[in-house]
Amino acid sequence: MPGTIGDSGDETGGGGARTGSSGAGGSLRRTLTFRDLIVYGLLFIAPMAPVGIFGTLQAKSHGAIALVYLVATVAMAFTAYSYAQMVRVAPQAGSVYTYARVGLGEGAGFVAGWMAMLDYLLIPAVAYLFSGIAMHALVPSVDQWVWTAIAVVVTTLLNLWGVRTAAIVGFAVLAMEIAVLAVFVVAAVVELIAHGAQRGWAVPLTGEGGFSVDAVLAAVSVAVLSYLGFDAIASFAEEAKGTPGDGDGAGEKGGKGDRGRGLRGSDRVARAVLTCLAVAGVLFVVQTYLAALLAPMSAAELAARPAEQGAAFYATVDSAVGGWLHDLVAVSKAIGAAFAALAGQAAAGRLLFAMARDRRLPGAMSKVDAGSGVPRRALLGAAVVTLVAAVWAARRPDGLDHLSSVVNVGALTAFGLLHASVIGWFRVRKRAEVPSVLRHVVVPLLGLAVVIAVIVEASGTAQVVGGIWLAVGLVVLAVQYGTGRRAAARG
């Protein structure tokens, strides 16, 4: 590929990032297969992510929740495609930080990394808190903040053990989550065959009492947040296996559980990003379609009873299948949430590592452990922040509301800069032999429009916190420029 970026940050003729990125005592290791990358992405997203917002989306969309997730999948596909474009240009651990840096410049790169950092640190904290709440419901004698802290410690130890070990354990957890989802699907189908649906078979796609475009689009603005996490795959670009001799994962062959042998590491990451989004979309549409058919309450009833929206999916399972599946789903969500946080923490560690390597954060976080091959200090830094945030929220009765209300704007802002970087790299800087209007202008502009629409629909609290975090980041950037501190050239 013409004009890719190597580890030094300079353009190369097509090599991409060289194997490993040096740090004192070791380097990131290319050990992740295609399956491992999918595992990290799906763990972070969570196969049953719609469970918690099923009732909200049913009410907002007037019952057309399956259509909402179909549209949301297409909407997020623009962002996934932009990631696939840029990971081939700059196959480095910094993900969107690196992409904005090469496509738009140093300042935009820092802002993208800074904004992504907000959500990469807080989204895992929310997931840990979900796990703590679920475990406390199962074992009330232990405080939820204790369960929350235990989840942080256990998953942090797995991340410190090594990226491949964490991926193997994560695969087992993901298999469990998908198995539980499969049990729900089978039980739902059996119930539908035996007793029929509560409403028309097309209602989850057309809505109750007439189709409303405005209602569907309002629900889509919330549903797209279910997909946050697939982008974490790009953070592992320097740890994905690639074919020998291409400069991108050189000397590493595909392993067991791999797909697409003969691919460069960056190509494998790009495919994993797109595949993860597609798989998540299918899982979300199927489970929400079936749940909508079986739901005992109509969309109008849910809209009139906001307090019952949060437990609407569980109420559906209880009434249609039985309490045993309710408990099974609850246990799956408790364990799955902790491992969603594991994937998020791993991605956060890579982002902090990449920014520290470029002297945008304290250099101590750019060190890679020689034994495990992971950015140990960056991971520990991310773990401390998420531990403090999650335990603080777990000890407050309104902690979940406070914490969940401030996430997402950071990642969405970074997505916006990602789309701008595609245009900047391919059209403004003209780093392609034959720039494509569709791939390099239309797709990123559509993705940018989706991102802006979702940010506008975000809660006021999230917008304020995002704005404050952005302002702090701009001050930090100004200080760095004022003191003559520039991003380091690696090589």
Residue with tokens 């101590």: 364
State both tokens at 490: 């690696």
pLDDT band at residue 23, thresholds of 50, 70 and 90? very low
One DSSP character per residue, 112-179 reads HHHHHHHHHHHHHHHHHHHHHHHHHHH-TTS-HHHHHHHHHHHHHHHHHH-HHHHHHHHHHHHHHHHH
Radius of gyration, alpha carbons of the chain: 22
pLDDT digits (tens, 9 = 90+) for 317-372: 888 888 788 888 888 888 998 999 999 999 999 999 999 998 899 989 999 988 88
Average pLDDT over residues 241-248: 54
Q: What is the mean pLDDT of the chain?
A: 85
Reported pTM:
0.85
Question: Could you tell me if 339 and 159 are in contact, meaning their C-beta atoms sit under 8 angstroms apart?
Answer: no
- Beta-carbon-side half-sphere exposure of residue 347 (alpha carbons within 13 Å): 35
pLDDT band at residue 461, thresholds of 50, 70 and 90? confident
pLDDT digits (tens, 9 = 90+) for 398-413: 787 778 777 788 888 9
* Weakest-pLDDT range from 2-6, 188-192, 243-247, 295-299: 243-247
